């Protein structure tokens, strides 16, 4: 599962990271609590060039009459993504890379939902494997995306049963389709030791909360 994320990378840094041409509408600035339906920076590849584009987080199937005509599809399960009518065409031909500093996850203990922040141990940007689609009805055009998720590995399993697909740089070209077929082989749990997670404060439970303190370890607070 991945339902909130943080991204403090400037647009030019993301463009350099992916060797992509940035669009004018790519969201910039430090964002510590990105929520579904908000705009994400997304890297796609086509006609021999990578582009950094803005997309709405929340995939809209082509049969939706309005953006809210059905469930909000922010994630796509790796086990069924090739079969689900909403995703099966996109996973074949419209895969993308979604950068972030890290993401938030919640662990249930009884009635309580305890928030955690997850990042890479090496401090590098986290890059999710995603898929995208244009949706157009009645003159309204939205470019939308979702993040592929996997069964949680050992680091995340004590917190939640799902985790996003995190891709290494060596795999980006294959996921984008630049190296032909074989992207399905990348939808596997990451090796242990790549990710780290720590408890954060309850402030992030509000989708209106912001600021770097949201991902400060709870144990470090006085």
Q: What is the pTM of this model?
A: 0.96
> pLDDT tens, 140-171?
999 999 999 999 999 999 999 999 999 999 99
For residue 35, name the pLDDT band (cuts at 50, 70, 90): very high
99-122 average pLDDT score: 94
Give the residue among 34, 168, 161 at the shortest CA–CA distance from 97: 168
Residue 204 CA neighbour count, 13 Å, CB half? 29
What integer best gives the mean pLDDT of the chain? Answer: 94
Instruction: Tell me phi and psi for residue 203, to 5 degrees.
Output: -55, -35
Q: Which helix H or strand E contains 17, and what residues bound it?
A: helix 11-18
Residues 39-74 pLDDT 10s = 999 999 998 899 999 999 999 999 999 999 999 999
Each residue of 73-90: b (16+ CB within 10 Å) or e? bbbbbbeebeeeebbeeb
State yes or no: pLDDT of 10 exceeds 70.
Answer: yes
pLDDT bin (cut points 50, 70, 90) of residue 222 is: low
Residue 220 has pLDDT above 80, yes or no: no
State the pLDDT confidence band at 1, using cuts at 50, 70 and 90: low
């Amino acid at each position: 599962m991945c339902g909130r994320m943080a991204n403090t990378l400037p647009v030019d840094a993301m463009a350099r990271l992916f060797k992509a041409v940035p669009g004018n509408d790519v969201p910039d600035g430090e964002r510590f609590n990105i929520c579904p339906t908000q705009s994400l920076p997304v890297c796609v590849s086509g006609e021999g060039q990578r582009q950094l584009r803005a997309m709405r987080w929340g995939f809209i199937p082509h049969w939706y009459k309005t953006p809210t005509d059905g469930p909000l599809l922010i994630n796509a399960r790796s086990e069924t993504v090739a079969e689900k009518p909403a995703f099966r065409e996109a996973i074949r031909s419209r895969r993308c890379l979604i950068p972030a500093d890290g993401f938030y996850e919640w662990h249930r203990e009884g009635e309580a939902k305890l928030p955690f922040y997850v990042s890479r141990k090496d401090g590098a940007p986290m890059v999710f494997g995603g898929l995208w689609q244009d949706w157009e009805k009645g003159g309204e055009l939205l470019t939308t995306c979702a993040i592929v998720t996997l069964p949680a590995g050992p680091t995340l399993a004590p917190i939640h049963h799902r985790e996003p697909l995190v891709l290494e740089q060596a795999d980006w070209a294959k996921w984008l389709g630049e190296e032909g077929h074989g992207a399905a082989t990348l939808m596997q749990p990451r090796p242990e030791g790549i990710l780290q997670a720590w408890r954060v404060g309850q402030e992030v439970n509000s989708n209106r909360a912001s600021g770097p303190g949201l991902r400060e370890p709870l144990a470090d607070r006085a």
